[in-house]
Amino acid sequence: MLLDVQHLTKRFGGLTAVGDVSFALADGEILGIFGPNGSGKTTLLNAISGLIRLDAGAVALDGVEVAHLPAWRTARRGLGRTFQTPRVFEELSIWDNIRLGADFRGADCAQPHADGRAAGWLLDALEPERADWQAQRPDLLPHAQRRLLEVLRVIAMDVDVLLFDEPAAGLAPEERRSFAGLLRFLADRLGKTVLLVEHDLDLVWRVADRITVLDAGAIVADGAPDAIVADPRVRALFTGRRADA
């Protein structure tokens, strides 16, 4: 298991935002996580990535405990993430925003398991756009494109585990289909492990190998997409919404 989360618990005062959550992901696996608003999805990502401290539990990345590490050290060990609100460096060009990800995994900080495939593929694929993006500032981009810019920067980091927090929000239908293909490419061709928090159920069902459903900070269902569709606890949470894509 590349990412192993055991009994993760995070409280804010008397409120348990995430309670006793456990799961594990293997190389090249996509886990989709969804649930109602306030179910603890983003808090879970914050705890895994080191942005907030756990109250209980453990997080292991490639066999190494990282729950006690600051976020930047967890990233150096091979974990990258995006945020609900895109975090973009406004003073840099679009191209330099992407290159920051590749620079982060430079020779002085590269881990033995990072072979440069994702960064090399990404930068080669975007080379035709480089001239246009070299001078263009990200503040000219619409919100959906700013979100994709952050996704590209994280991919360029060439980390082994990618945490995406609602990356498809605001994307047009065709952009969502392209993004779904990108996720499968990352997992199937580059061996990346993906944890995907997303409200677009069609997208989750299209790309996830396994789905975990959260409610009130606890796991109420976990399994293959077909099993989740048939789970009455999930149907109760999403009454009237189809999840058979």
Domains and CATH numbers, the chain: 3-237 (3.40.50.300)
Residue-wise pLDDT for 19-58, tens only, equals: 999 999 999 999 999 888 889 999 999 999 999 999 999 9
Higher pLDDT, 131 or 140: 140
Lowest mean pLDDT among 5-19, 74-88, 109-123: 109-123
Contact 182, 193 (CB under 8 A): no
How much is the average pLDDT of 189-195?
Answer: 92
pLDDT mean across residues, the chain: 86
pLDDT of amino acid 114: 43
Is the pLDDT confidence value at 85 over 80?
yes
Per-residue CA distances from 177 to 94, 108, 147 (Å): 23, 36, 15
In the structure, what pLDDT confidence band is assigned to residue 109 with cuts at 50, 70 and 90? very low
> What percent of the chain shows pLDDT beyond 90?
49
**Which pTM value belongs to this model?**
0.86
Which pLDDT band, with edges at 50, 70 and 90, does 171 fall under? confident
Q: What is the pLDDT of residue 106?
A: 61
Q: What is the pLDDT of residue 39?
A: 93
> Are 187 and 194 in contact, with CB atoms under 8 Å apart?
yes
Whether the predicted pLDDT of 227 surpasses 70: yes
Look at residue 170 and tell me whether its pLDDT is greater than 70: yes
Predicted confidence at residue 147, as pLDDT, reads 87
- Is residue 134 over pLDDT 90? no
